[in-house]
Amino acid sequence: MRRIKIMILGICGWFDEKNAEDTFKMLKNIGYVYIEAGIHGYYKNEKYLETVLKALDNAKIRCEVGQHPFPGEYNPDGEQTEEALEKIRDYFYELLSSTSDLNLSTLVMGGGGARFLPSPDKYENVVKQIADICKYAISPVLDEFGIILALEALRKDETSMLNRTDESVKIAKLANTPNIKVMADLYHVIGEGENLDDFVNYKGCIRHAHIGKPSPRVMPSENDGYDYKPFFEALRSANFNGRMSVEAGSSCDDYKTSLERAFAVLQPLL
């Protein structure tokens, strides 16, 4: 029986406004379906955003996924104040209002520097505080714009908190709102030694995924020595049926060739 494709493939990156349209058209012609970009670059930069929006429109491709760091205004040693939560709400409302023309469907949130753990004994409290920020400050704003949050787990060399997918899932479940989900990035999953068999426990939690060869972190290519199929199988076990962005460096000297090679490897696995 032919397997129904349930994932769609896009590209995560930073796109120079000077050649954005040509880049977007190239990606569209290769077969990539959407763009993922850091929206903090568009925030309060109307000229840049206008240029990118025009390039997306001309290329007939959408920026469906945005990225933004986790907010730094939280108290890991105690509960959040209403003043702090209101400050985060106001910031995210302004951020998403100014970039609303992108019509994002997902916002990936990483930002390892802000998600610090002051000491091991503070772990459970910090988990609760992050969940509270997601639930009471970020979720109501996301709801106004119809966007789903995807918490990104990062390797320990990038942050002291949220290093594994199960930690992100724990926070999403504590937040207990429909628009707080998680992201699974193969680079970080392998870097933290996660067991892909555990993904069956994350049903309904994974909103988004990133992929690339874990080491070195480059785009997949034929005969690169890495088996990507188990990651796809793990995502399917979690009932994942969303967007997957290629996030990695070029596998060769030519960017277009790297993109074409990655698409050729990953498309049959979707």
User: What CATH number should be reported for the domain holding residue 49?
Assistant: 3.20.20.150
Q: From CA 192, how far away is CA 49, in angstroms rounded? A: 36
User: Containing domain of residue 60, as a range?
Assistant: 8-269
| Residue 144, pLDDT score | 97
Residue 1: its pLDDT value, please?
A: 44
* Residue 210: pLDDT over 70: yes
135-150 pLDDT, tens digit per residue, is 999 999 999 999 999 9
Tell me whether residue 81 is in a domain.
yes
In a domain, 68, yes or no: yes
Q: Evaluate whether residue 1 is within a structural domain.
A: no
**CA-angle at 11, arms to 57 and 154, nearest 5°:** 135
Cβ-based neighbours of 9, under 8 Å, separated by 6 or more: 31, 32, 33, 243, 244, 245, 246, 263, 266, 267, 270
45-58 as b/e: b if 16+ CB within 10 A = eeeebebbbebbee
Record the pTM: 0.94
Domain assignment of residue 184, yes or no: yes
In a domain, 2, yes or no: no
User: Tens digits of per-residue pLDDT, 37-91?
Assistant: 999 877 778 888 999 999 999 999 999 999 998 876 666 667 778 888 899 999 9
Total domains present in the chain: 1
Dihedral of alpha carbons 49, 15, 152, 75, sign: negative
Residue with tokens 């930073």: 14
Whether the predicted pLDDT of 2 surpasses 60: no
Residue 3 resides in a domain: no
CB of 73 closer than 8 Å to CB of 84 = yes
pLDDT in the model for residue 3: 54
Does the residue 70 lie in any domain? Answer: yes
Residue 241 confidence (pLDDT) above 90: yes
44/99 Cα distance (integer angstroms): 9
